[in-house]
Amino acid sequence: MATMAAAAASSMVRVVPSCVGASAHGRGDSKAVVALQVSRLGDMRLATGRCGVRRGFVKASAGAVNGIAGDVAQEESSRVGSVSRETKETSVEVSINLDGTGICDCDTGIPFLDHMLDQLASHGLFDVRVKAKGDTHIDDHHTNEDVGLAMGTALLQALGDRKGIRRFGDFSAPLDEALVHVVLDLSGRPYLGYNLEIPTDRVGNYDTQLVEHFFQSMANTSGMTLHIRQLAGKNSHHIIEATFKAFARALRQATEYDVRRLGTIPSSKGVLSRA
């Protein structure tokens, strides 16, 4: 692949698989080819057509694949969602950049929730900004809920039509004795399956019942199918933090581009939406 790129003096090199028009393979009806476009800067973009070849026809190094994925991402519109939510109970502003670097700028008025959102940004490599003011003099319920709702709406915006994404994410994260498994599907079908056994009512001042409520709120507005299962754990802080880390990594998997799709929607229906 590197040799081909270096040798290409023109801006386009076309590689025609032997199966195209080859009756010996019974593939005479195959239609298209693989094109390696070499830009003046030496970047390569892979555009694959449909061809009945065996696995291994085109082999690329991990670095080349990552480069292609980066090109695909750059060609898509910016994947950023921004939401302002105002009620009599809370004022929430949220933005999320799915192609970020893990920057977190969060002030919800709930320190433990800020800590968990930092895990989401850091391990998902999302840039997350949350500014919230709410009636925390009563309790954290309304603010926690509305941050989750706004986060889900911002994610929905950032995903757009979901072309080219992997769609599914599956990750298990340990934190000392705690182990939590998260599986999700950016299907447009909101559902939460939640199985955490948090042994204490509070972590610091944070009501541990609010963990489920946060994820339910985010699943509802994003249109996400989300399953959370605790496999091990005794410490409440560890269980919750492992949950957010596993969620971050699963969401990162699901939102990343699949280079084999090249802009197609990952659904046999041809659409993924909340409608």
Q: Locate tokens 């490599």: which residue?
A: 125
- Give the burial class of 58: count Cβ atoms within 10 A of its Cβ; 0-12 exposed, 13-18 middle, 19 or more buried: middle
Same domain, 85 and 71: no
Q: Among the three residues 50, 75, 100, which one is the final residue of a domain in this structure?
A: 75
Same domain, 113 and 175: yes
pLDDT digits (tens, 9 = 90+) for 109-141: 999 999 999 999 999 999 999 999 999 999 999
Q: What is the mean pLDDT of residues 91-100?
A: 98
Same domain, 164 and 62: no
Position 268 in a domain: no
Q: What is the mean pLDDT of residues 196-216?
A: 98
CA distance 40 to 42: 5
> Is the per-residue pLDDT at 207 higher than 70?
yes
Which pLDDT belongs to residue 270? 65
Whole-structure pTM value: 0.74
- CB-CB neighbours of 205 under 10 Å: 11
Decide the pairing of beta strands 127-134 and 104-107. Answer: parallel
Judged by DSSP in three states, 85 sits in strand
pLDDT digits (tens, 9 = 90+) for 136-181: 999 999 999 999 999 999 999 999 888 889 999 999 999 999 999 9
Q: Among the three residues 21, 49, 75, which one is the final residue of a domain in this structure?
A: 75
Which pLDDT belongs to residue 78? 86
Same domain, 231 and 138: yes
> What is the percent of the chain where pLDDT is above 90?
64
pLDDT digits (tens, 9 = 90+) for 214-227: 999 999 999 999 99
Same domain, 96 and 69: no
Domain range for residue 195?
80-255
Q: Among the three residues 58, 75, 92, which one is the final residue of a domain in this structure?
A: 75
Amino acid found at 243: T
> Is the per-residue pLDDT at 184 higher than 80?
yes
